[in-house]
Structure 1
Amino acid sequence: MEFDFVVVGAGSAGCPVARRLSDAGRYSVCLIEAGPRDTNPWIHIPVGYFRTMNNPRSDWRYYTQPDPGINGRAIPWPRGRVMGGSSSINGLLYVRGQPQDYDHWRQLGNTGWAWDDVLPYFKRAENWGGDTPDPENLRGHKGPLAVNPTRLSRDIVDHWVEAAVNAGYKRNPDYNGSDQEGVGYFQLTQKAGQRCSSAKAYITPVRGKRDNLEVITDAQAEKLLIENRVARGVIVRRKGESMTIRARREVILSAGAIGSPQLLMLSGVGDGEALAKHGITSVSHVPGVGRNLQDHLQARPVYKTTLSTINVETNSLFKKAMIALEYAAKRTGPMTMAASLGTGFLKTDERLETPDIQFHIQPFSASAPADGPHKFSAFTASVLQLRPESTGHLELKSADPMAHPDIHPNYLATDLDQQTIVKGIQVARKIAGHSPLKDVVTEEYAPGREIAFDDYDGTLDWARNTAVTIYHPTGTCKMGSDEMAVVDERLRVRGIGGLRVADASIMPQIISGNTNAPCIMIGEKVSDMILEDAVA
């Protein structure tokens, strides 16, 4: 099997890459996905992430190593293993980040990645269905990715938004517009009450209709085929058999912030000394592979309330049946709910130029997703630090492609990160103390009144004991020109010809928000680079 381009990973970035290369009409493209086709109906039902996360048919089910920053806990890191990748199992939240994020990438030496450079690709991807004012023409309306306002609201989220405004924070109807700061409702990758994953947006409309696009599922990449320091293809395992898929022009890795560096290391691209410990011959010494790992860590204050929440709306089989009937008949109701409804991009210090914390307001609460909602009515005011200083790393456990790598997040490793998570929890408590929210809150369930508002050590320790990922690993094949960079500004891997990486791993610094939209932008942008270089 031989194609012009081979794309490894049909996720948030890989699907746009494959589609745009196929659109050109001049080249043959093969898109390889380790997981199955996206036929599971729970993938397409927005609330289905409760069923697809921790499901081995759709989730890689990674776990971190015990992490000192969260008091030695090891926590799950779900990542999509299915057509659409993590965009098929995520919370559907569409956030571009701050323009300053991308200007900072440019300031680090990455020409072509400033906000003005990437905005056209956000717009090209997007089909925005909202009616908020857009005087600066920042939103896209003709792209394949459906982005819409939430179809669901809840009184408790309305109360939180009003309380935040009364606490001194501004209302913002479009955080993807000219200014991210403020509170409001999330925008979703959803259309007519169904998920719009990158696979559904980019691949489903053309799959089986083009001779120049081949999609192969259930095919796990084991190793890159590298000859004379040039990538010539990928060795994959499918149905228990090894097969080689060759690339005449380029291989593009879009296997995610864990999968892409792992595949590079298995192929001899990484820190030569570390690879030798596993008997892997170094092809190119690139010590930054697997380093610079960043993630958003969320603390989850929970408040009991007199208002109805999902906890009590789903506490009987009859109620669940009625919710299912509403969704079947109208594509409305709780089954259209994203992972969160309300959001806020806020500052912990007014001297900051841009927000440094983000809220995810959820009209439900649970000790853990697998445990189901609490028996009492409550909501969660999840808060995270947008730009953590702490960086971790991942490393091979063995040379076995089926073995998950060891993941070391290194959460809360700096004073700033510790201070910001404490301040974020304090902001959550401050908002809960304002009307109309305080009038319907009966108890702070967590952290709880045992920890005083100004108890810094107690608050930080609570965060260390309870905080979890919000599923945004990035940075492990970072873009740049320093000695720890893995790819250049055109996402070409150092020291290896015919090979690029295009996914969340190339981010030199994590963006200020959820990472799905930027990954799709990366896929859109690199496809233009590849096509430009192909005719150069």
Structure 2
Amino acid sequence: MTADMTAEMEFDYVIVGGGSGGATLAARLSEDRKVSVCLLEAGGDGKDMLIRLPIGAALMVPGHPVPMNNWAFETIPQEELAARRGYQPRGKALGGSSAINAMIYTRGNPKDYDHWARLGCTGWAWEDVLPYFRKSEDNSRGADDYHGEGGPLQVTDPQSPRPISRDFVAAAEAVGIPANGDFNGPVQEGAGLFQLTQFHDRRRGERCSAAAAFLHPVMTRANLEVITHALGRRVLFDGRTACGVEFSRRGQIRRVKARREVILCAGALQSPQLLMLSGIGNAHQLRAHGIDVVQNLPEVGLNLQDHIDTVLGYEVNTTNLFGIGLKGGARLLKALRRWRREGRGMAASNFAEAGAFLSVGDGAEGWPDVQMHFVVGRLINHARTIRPGYGVTLHTCLLRPKSRGWVRLGTADPSDAPMIDPGFLEAGEDADLLLAAVKRGREIMAAPPMAQHVIKDHDCAHVTSDADLMAVLREKSDTIYHPVGTCRMGGDDASVLDPQLRVRGVEGLRVVDASAMPQIVSGNTNAPVIMMAEKAADMIRQARLGG
């Protein structure tokens, strides 16, 4: 469907943001031909080669010299991280961050969702959400009690994992971490290779972003309008009812009406920004920016949670991975040809091929508090710093940090980035837990068979004490790209959303993305956001039918 941009458009549902939540929701809502759906996305169509090619993430994530499919945000200086500004890459295209991420398919832990229910999020316990995980999935291993088959999202094992990734798993076993062939099965704890959101059909080896899975195949539906390069500016209200969205496109400001609902899916950093620009948030802060207050909701933008992550690099004695050397260019060209032909080989890699879930604290049994990502290349400063040679990187992150941050308006201009403060390590127990986790990771890297590969420890060779290691952590830690919680849902009046994802105090407005999470999940966040959108589609459908 192609809208007449010179006329005022009107649809039943207007969705702002075409990321994992928005792409999934637009596709599911438009299955009902009795309703019309408009999706606004600030970026492009999410179909370019850099997105389809898994190793294209290495060019998109850094965000420089020119951001490609990436908002490339920065945080304010982090006091506990040597006053450094953190980096917050977020996807800017249909598919959102699923268009630029490492394609890892993990759901978190069942206890995460049972905890959501205890926090007042009725209907979000594990038994409630598992059917939606299974519904979305087309797992190459087939269907079972935990996995689905035939859904839009293709999930598969790594196409051609590097041998050193399997050595990482063996080294983890050597220090007492059990092998785990399925982090989304009956047990999360252990070490293994990640499953990936990657095509295993005729498009084998290509990235399966949320847009590629859900949205691109249905773009020709007559009741679905997708408008790219459209930046949401604010939600429009008739009294206290959301009735449309104002957006800018190619230098012009437009409006689109919503007969039933406006749904924000702009992510944990930009959905609260949009709410505040629309007059929903802390009334005092909004008035300071000259914004008329529609609803005073002080928690909008608060409760920001992210997985703080320490990145340690090692030089290794194998060149069968990503690196810069005399043979690197020729090897890459060969890998690209194989990927185009077979969908396999190094170009099909997601970089973070292996990982582990484990506990180093005193938490509940079966609820790991640490995740590791093993990357088959040397990753420095989010791939923004390049060094010659061949190496690997170990990421170690806290799964349930106590620290909380915030998102606020920097200005009242919708085209300006929000102010972001993750508050990393502001809770002292986070620093203690991260130190213990990194020490555990160093044990893995020193164990056979990893020890036989390591030539040089780039970051910790000088470390002789916990104080030395803690200083390294403050210099080498940042996000692992999982911000959530800034429009949290809950059963209490202070929450931004109710358990139906409706914004409190107004009508006709929901938020469906990671910002709605009351507490961060114990794993990567892409699959949980897709699940949330699947569930939200049913909620919205039931509301329309009066259920």
* TM-score computed with the length of structure 2 as normaliser: 0.94
Partner of 2:322: 310
Partner of 2:457: 444
- Alpha-carbon separation, structure 2, partners of 1:472 and 1:194: 23
CA contact (8 A) 1:301 1:428 kept: no
Q: 1:76 aligns with which of 80, 87, 99?
A: 87
Q: Is residue 2:545 matched to residue 1:535?
A: yes
Partner of 2:466: 456
Shift of 1:482: 2.9
CA contact (8 A) 2:484 2:514 kept: yes
Structure 2 letter corresponding to 1:332? R
Q: What CA RMSD, in Å, does the superposition of the two structures yield over aligned residues?
A: 1.5
Structure 2 letter corresponding to 1:418? A
CA displacement 1:284-341 (0-9 Å, x = unmatched): 0000100000111111122222223322578543222222222222221111111400
- Aligned residue for 1:195, secondary structure, equals coil
Q: 1:473 aligns with which of 471, 479, 483?
A: 483
- Alpha-carbon separation, structure 2, partners of 1:375 and 1:173: 33
Partner of 1:198: 210
- Aligned residue for 1:323, secondary structure, equals helix
Structure 2 letter corresponding to 1:386? L
Partner of 1:149: 157
- Alpha-carbon separation, structure 2, partners of 1:36 and 1:371: 23
Q: 1:171 aligns with which of 172, 179, 184?
A: 179
- Aligned residue for 1:300, secondary structure, equals strand
Partner of 2:444: 431
1:223-242 equivalences in 2 (<5 Å):
223-242=234-253
Q: Among the aligned pairs, what percent are the same residue?
A: 40
Partner of 1:417: 430
Partner of 1:25: 33
CA contact (8 A) 1:314 1:320 kept: no
Q: Is residue 2:346 matched to residue 1:334?
A: yes
Partner of 1:509: 519
Shift of 1:65: 0.6
**Unmatched segments (≥5 aa) in structure 1:** none
- Aligned residue for 1:234, secondary structure, equals strand
Stretch deviating more after TM superposition (49-58 or 466-475):
49-58
Structure 2 letter corresponding to 1:181? E
Stretch deviating more after TM superposition (238-247 or 149-158):
149-158
Structure 2 letter corresponding to 1:287? P
CA contact (8 A) 1:93 1:339 kept: no
CA contact (8 A) 1:343 1:360 kept: yes
- Aligned residue for 2:339, secondary structure, equals helix
- Aligned residue for 2:218, secondary structure, equals coil
CA contact (8 A) 1:311 1:373 kept: no
Shift of 1:351: 6.2
- Aligned residue for 2:232, secondary structure, equals strand
Shift of 1:514: 0.4
Shift of 1:370: 4.5
CA pair 89-371 structure 1, distance change in 2 beyond 3 A: closer
Structure 2 letter corresponding to 1:44? R
- Alpha-carbon separation, structure 2, partners of 1:422 and 1:314: 37
CA contact (8 A) 1:312 1:377 kept: yes
- Alpha-carbon separation, structure 2, partners of 1:148 and 1:314: 33
- Alpha-carbon separation, structure 2, partners of 1:141 and 1:202: 15
Shift of 1:483: 4.4
Structure 2 letter corresponding to 1:165? E
Structure 1 letter corresponding to 2:114? D
- Aligned residue for 1:338, secondary structure, equals coil
- Alpha-carbon separation, structure 1, partners of 2:326 and 2:58: 13
CA pair 314-511 structure 1, distance change in 2 beyond 3 A: farther
CA displacement 1:64-86 (0-9 Å, x = unmatched): 01111211110221111111111
Structure 2 letter corresponding to 1:323? A
Structure 2 letter corresponding to 1:496? V
Equivalent residues, number: 529
CA contact (8 A) 1:126 1:145 kept: yes
Q: 1:498 aligns with which of 489, 505, 508?
A: 508
Structure 1 letter corresponding to 2:332? K
Shift of 1:377: 2.5
Partner of 2:42: 34
CA displacement 1:164-217 (0-9 Å, x = unmatched): 111111000001011100000011000110011111111111112x11111111
Q: Is residue 2:164 matched to residue 1:140?
A: no
Q: Is residue 2:304 matched to residue 1:293?
A: yes
- Aligned residue for 1:193, secondary structure, equals coil
- Aligned residue for 2:395, secondary structure, equals strand
CA contact (8 A) 1:422 1:460 kept: yes
CA pair 264-138 structure 1, distance change in 2 beyond 3 A: same
CA pair 97-19 structure 1, distance change in 2 beyond 3 A: same
Shift of 1:369: 4.4
Shift of 1:368: 3.0
CA displacement 1:426-472 (0-9 Å, x = unmatched): 01111122212222222222222x112xx222222211111121111
CA contact (8 A) 1:220 1:236 kept: yes
**Unmatched segments (≥5 aa) in structure 2:** 1-8
- Alpha-carbon separation, structure 2, partners of 1:195 and 1:316: 23
Stretch deviating more after TM superposition (143-152 or 326-335):
326-335
Stretch deviating more after TM superposition (112-121 or 337-346):
337-346
CA contact (8 A) 2:14 2:38 kept: yes
CA contact (8 A) 1:294 1:388 kept: yes
Q: Is residue 2:101 matched to residue 1:90?
A: yes
- Alpha-carbon separation, structure 2, partners of 1:389 and 1:446: 26
